[in-house]
Structure 1
Amino acid sequence: MKRQHDPLRLDVAAFAADGGALAGQWPGDSLVRLAESQSPPQDVPLGEVRWQVQGERRAVAGGEAELWLALSADTRVWLSCQRCLQPFEVPLALARRIRFVRGEAQAEALDAEIDDDVLALSRSIDLRELVEDELLLALPLVPRHSQCPMPLPMAADAASADDAPAERANPFAVLQSLKTDRGAS
């Protein structure tokens, strides 16, 4: 018989041993830290977060079974373009495999050895918090449009500089003329 699992507080060991699977969606504003990192236009709701988690217990010859969670989530987030400073919508999707081990020291050692994420096993984990953490880590470091919808102010300044005369007056020309006049006296 399969055990019932609370989709917010997850007993990872039992969930993985059962090969449990959960899926759902949350309103975008229910993930507070993710919501606070966004800058949507006024009166535009935040995108829903769709997620799935699958537990797996792998038998290992001569050792303790490995506990894994496969986590995927996707949403659309509103970020500010770092070039034009205008809000724009970015699709955000992730797929992570997380291995759970006994203790922080083992997690730290394995994290350096394998590509998958490694976490120390705790009695239970907050699934909503885990999904939110992973989405925050998936945000682009420098969000920007591939091409900004409006010309940038600096681009307009550069265009007007191109229209300016090629030769500018030397600011030291006046000093040079004073020096020359002094030498003539």
Structure 2
Amino acid sequence: MEKKFDPQHLDVVAFARDEAVLEGQGALQAMSRLCQEQVDGDVLAGPVVWCLEGRLEPQSGGADHVWLDLEASVALPMQCQRCLTPVLETVQAQRSFRFVADEATAAALDDEAEEDILVVSRDFDALALVEDELILSLPLVPLHEVCPEALPMSAVDPEFEQAAERPNPFGVLAGLKKSSS
């Protein structure tokens, strides 16, 4: 008989022991923090697609390590930092997490371990982890490959141009000095 796992109330140890896989997709609006990163406009966000896989890694002379592999992606409308119009960015996250028995063990292993360490739980919200990982994977500077509109490439400040057209007050003084000599 196959167990039914709930990604918002996941028993991580049972999930890993069964080498279970959960896949799903949902609306971006269900992830409020990630939803705040999108811009309004004509470009629509895609669904959040995710996959979770549990596994145990045997250890010689000790208990098996509990692992959770996560993959997630979403097409998110963001503001292009070059032309300031919406750009649809594909945000992808792929991480593996090792679970340990308690906070003290996690803190002790965190500095020396290369992998991400989390504390095991019978009521783990894996969808919150999916949202966290997608937020961490957001591009620092979203850009179009080629912006849809031509950009003005003037390196001159318009106020500076206007100032250059006015007569230089020191030039007038220099002219007065020459005429008095």
TM range (shorter): 0.7 to 0.9
Moved more, 30-39 or 116-125: 116-125
Provide the rounded CA distance (Å) in 2 between the counterparts of 1:110 and 1:128.
24
The Cα shift of 1:111 comes to 3.3
Does 1 or 2 have the higher relative contact order (CA < 8 Å, sep 6+)? 2
1:35, 1:46 within 8 Å by CA — same for their partners in 2? no
Residue 38 (1) aligns with residue 38 (2): yes
For structure 1, list consecutive stretches of 5 or more residues without a partner in the other structure: none
TM-score (ref. length: structure 2): 0.83
Q: 1:106 to 1:175 in 2, by over 3 A?
A: farther
Identity %: 41
What's 1:173 paired with? 171
Tell me what 2:26 maps to.
26
The whole-number CA distance in structure 2 between the counterparts of 1:181 and 1:147 is: 58
| Contact 1:29 1:46 (8 Å CA) reproduced | no
Under a length normalisation based on structure 1, what TM-score does the superposition of the two structures give? Answer: 0.81
Instruction: Please state how far the C-alpha of 1:62 moved relative to its aligned partner.
Output: 1.4
The number of residue pairs the alignment matches comes to: 176
CA distance in 2, matches of 1:116, 1:64: 18
Name the CA distance, whole Å, in 1 between partners of 2:9 and 2:126.
6
Deviates more, 1:4-13 or 1:106-115: 106-115
Q: Say if 1:159 and 1:63 are closer, same or farther in 2 by CA, change over 3 A.
A: same
CA distance in 1, matches of 2:39, 2:76: 8
Q: In 2, distance between residues paired with 1:113 and 1:179?
A: 75
* Unaligned ranges ≥5, structure 2: none
> SS state of the match for residue 22, structure 2?
strand
Aligned-pair Cα RMSD in Å: 2.7
